[in-house]
Amino acid sequence: MEQPDYLPKDYDGIQLVGNMDELFAATFGPANVVLYPRSLTAAFNARAQAADFKALSLLLLDGLSEKDMSHEDLSEAASRLEGGSKKAAQQILDDMKAFESNDLKPALRIFIGKALVNLADYGGKIFQEGAHLFHGDGVPTRFLCCYTAPATEGLCNEDAERYIDSENYAQELAASYTAERGRNPYHPLPGLQGYPEKTEDFKRWLERNNDYYFPKPRARIFSFKIGDVFRFAGEKNYAGVPPFIHRGPPSNDDSSPRLVLVGDLKP
């Protein structure tokens, strides 16, 4: 299968498949991403398609409540929609049904700038999320599809460095810890080697925040396309491959929410 031109060349971290069935059946190794490059509509309808999904995202955002947005809830909402928004909702419903048929729990999410609204799991509450930073997800595997721009960005693993492993970010991490905990991250007296010694609480805090990365100089950063469906390995994958490092780019336009379908393994 020919590699799309928006992916990095000579990179073995992404495996391509030709349909949804192959996507669900694929395994990791050496790749930590399996991608089904998909166009939602013909190219001449791309502008209308983008408008349809944007309109849908704004309608869903306007109607948020304490109720979770399940496949049934979205289906009910779609019955009250018209035109392009109704077609856009049906596309998402079809994808959700495919996820559910393969033992996945789908969750429809709307990202607004740096804030996240998770319609499936968080009952319409907006909260700040680190998804705009490069990170690995704390799950075995996850499926994603973006319906509105900007789409998910990926970072080649060899071009990434963990925040907690970098001396360049030591002061920033210590400051973040102090702001959150209100405590000094280091013991009052230097350690045996004469360097500041981390407190046990600071060490635990670092471990809980060890899934964030930053790109090295000249790193290869790439972006998926709207409509692509892909699965990736998380930090807790069983295949022994490194996690896929990615981010949801923050949008500078709050009037254009990012509409994303997420599929996780059922418990």
pLDDT of the residue at 4: 93
74 plus 204 within the same structural domain: no
In this prediction, residue 116 carries a pLDDT of 47
Same domain, 90 and 172: no
The residue range of the domain holding 184 is 164-208
- Looking at the domain assignment, is residue 36 inside a domain? yes
| Same domain flag for 198 and 251 | no
* HEC assignment per residue over 224-241: CCCCCEEEEECCCCCCCC
Distance of alpha carbon 146 from alpha carbon 260, whole angstroms: 5
Residues of the chain with pLDDT under 50: 42-44, 64-68, 115-129
Residues 82 and 170 in one domain: no
Same domain, 66 and 194: no
Residue 1 counted as domain residue? no
The total number of structural domains in the chain stands at 2
The answer as to whether 214 is a domain residue is: no
Answer whether residue 246 is part of any domain. Answer: yes
Query: Model-level pTM?
Result: 0.79
Helix (H, G, I), strand (E, B) or coil at 22: helix
Look up residue 250 and give its DSSP letter: P
Q: What is the pLDDT of residue 191?
A: 56
pLDDT in tens, 191-210: 555 567 888 888 887 777 67
pLDDT in tens, 160-188: 988 777 776 677 778 877 877 788 888 87
Task: Give the position of tokens 């996780």.
Answer: 264
Count how many Cα atoms sit within 13 Å of the Cα of residue 88 in the half-sphere of its side chain.
28
Structural domain includes residue 4: no
Task: For the beta carbon of residue 212, count every other beta carbon within 10 angstroms.
Answer: 18
Q: What is the pLDDT of residue 253?
A: 58
**Is residue 219 a contact partner of residue 160, using CB atoms and an 8 Å limit?**
yes
Alpha-carbon gap, residue 229 to 143, rounded angstroms: 7
90: exposed, middle or buried (C-beta count within 10 Å: 0-12, 13-18, 19+)? Answer: middle
